[in-house]
Amino acid sequence: MIRIDDLHKTYATPRGRFEALRGVSLHVAPGEVFGIIGPSGAGKSTLVQCINMLEQPDQGSIAIGGQALTGLDERSLRGQRRRIGMVFQGFNLLARRTVHGNVALPLEIAGVPARDIPARVDRLLELVGLAHLRDRYPSQISGGQKQRVGIARALANDPDVLLSDEATSALDPETTRNILALLREINRQTGITVVLITHQMEVVRQICDRVAVLDQGRVVEAGATVDVFASPRHAVTRAMVSAATASELSDETLAALRGRIADAAPARPGQAAQLWRMTLAGGDSGALLASLGREHAVALTLVQARVEAVQGVAVGTLFVLAEGAPEALAAARGAAHERHAVVEDVH
């Protein structure tokens, strides 16, 4: 549905050239919910503005549904933009139009006959559950309701693609979940392709089928959300995953464990102690630990564990104190890898 090839964008700033995008390539399949995540300054906003050509890329191509957008003149672009709905972090609702009037705006712009507009707007407000607020002004409704208006407005011209630019970043966690659930529901009902730009891993975890991780203007990792969560390969991804799952050991716990490892070393010659961080997707983490302990001569002590549901699959991060002969520990690590658990040392 969306094909982005080798996109480059450089801005001239007072302090020199800033390369916002340095060769981004992405492919978003029809009907999927695709997340683009990255820390601030990664180039996410530039990328989303390039997708509907609000920003002209310097190099590279963008095609939506087989139609190339790069190279089109402004007039043809305006027509293509109607196929792409956009939702904003700051809602961007007109203060002097009612809820109804705001949703009507894209229809007016597209030249829909005035007599057809009220019925279409009412249907859209029904879809986002705001029919009862149609005559309110934006200042009279909550943030979550404003974003529902934003979503209804983005869907007004029956677009093929819905772009969400940090749509939930200004909302509290519960409202965020509700808005995401609404987006997921609309995606299931209409088959619309959704591209979500976010810096919140929570957002990706809840609704994205696939995710691309953006860092310093490049895609550093992309794949199914479950895979990226279970075995993040890039440092930026790892940092974001652990921030989202809060699966870090506290400094006190870490200090205590280090003390314990140091104390144990002289007492048992030929034995080693290691602190592992194990990340696994699916399966039973308890059973895995038990069988590793049984099959290899190692003692595994669970220090801390957290298991999250990512797209319906249990993804866990375990901190395990592993003790045993160095060879046995290495063998146990190998066995864990075979069962799709990623083991890393915590130092």
The residues that touch other proteins, with contacts defined as CB under 8 A, are: 52, 54, 77-82, 84, 86, 88, 90, 92, 94-97, 105-106, 108-110, 137-140, 157
Residue 88 C-beta: closest distance to other proteins, Å? 6
- Reading the block at residue 311, the tokens are 């797209």
- 32 vs 64, 202, 211, 291, CA distance in Å? 14, 18, 10, 38
| Residue 43 Cβ vs other proteins, minimum distance, rounded to whole Å | 18
Q: For other proteins, which is the closer residue by CB, 92 or 216?
A: 92
Distance CA 252, CA 306 (A): 18
- Which of residues 159 and 232 has its CB atom nearest to other proteins in the complex? 159
Q: How far is the CB of 106 from other proteins (least distance, A)?
A: 4
85/232 with CB nearer other proteins: 85
The nearest distance, CB 49 to other proteins, in angstroms, is 8
What does the alpha-carbon distance between residue 324 and residue 73 come to, in Å, rounded to a whole number?
Answer: 68
- Any bridge partners for residue 343, and if so which? 278
- The kind and range of the H/E element at 126 are helix 117-127
Please give the structure tokens belonging to residue 325: 């002969």
Residue 209 phi/psi, 5-degree rounding, is -75, -45
Q: What interhelical angle do 99-109 and 117-127 show, nearest 10?
A: 120
Query: Considering beta carbons, is residue 92 or 304 the nearer one to other proteins?
Result: 92
Residue among 53 and 222 whose Cβ is closer to other proteins: 53
In the complex with other proteins, the residue whose CB is nearer, 21 or 87, is 87
> What is the distance between the alpha carbons of residues 337 and 328, in angstroms, rounded to a whole number?
14
The smaller minimum CB distance to other proteins, of residues 166 and 221, is found at 166
Least gap, CB of 232 to other proteins (angstroms): 32
CB of 137 to other proteins, least distance (A): 4
Instruction: Categorise residue 59: left if φ over 0, alpha if ψ from -120 to 50, beta otherwise.
Output: beta
| C-alpha 257: how far from chain center | 33
Residue 322: CB minimum distance to other proteins, A: 52
Q: Which of 216, 247, 238 is nearest to 316 (CA)?
A: 247
Which residue, 138 or 217, has its beta carbon nearer to other proteins? 138
In whole angstroms, how close is the CB of 62 to other proteins at the nearest point?
14
Q: How far apart are CA 119 and CA 71, in angstroms?
A: 36
CA distances in angstroms from 40 to 48, 71, 146, 154, listed in the order given: 14, 29, 24, 25
Give the integer Cα–Cα distance in Å for 230 and 309.
Answer: 11
Contact (Cβ atoms closer than 8 angstroms) between residue 190 and residue 128 = no
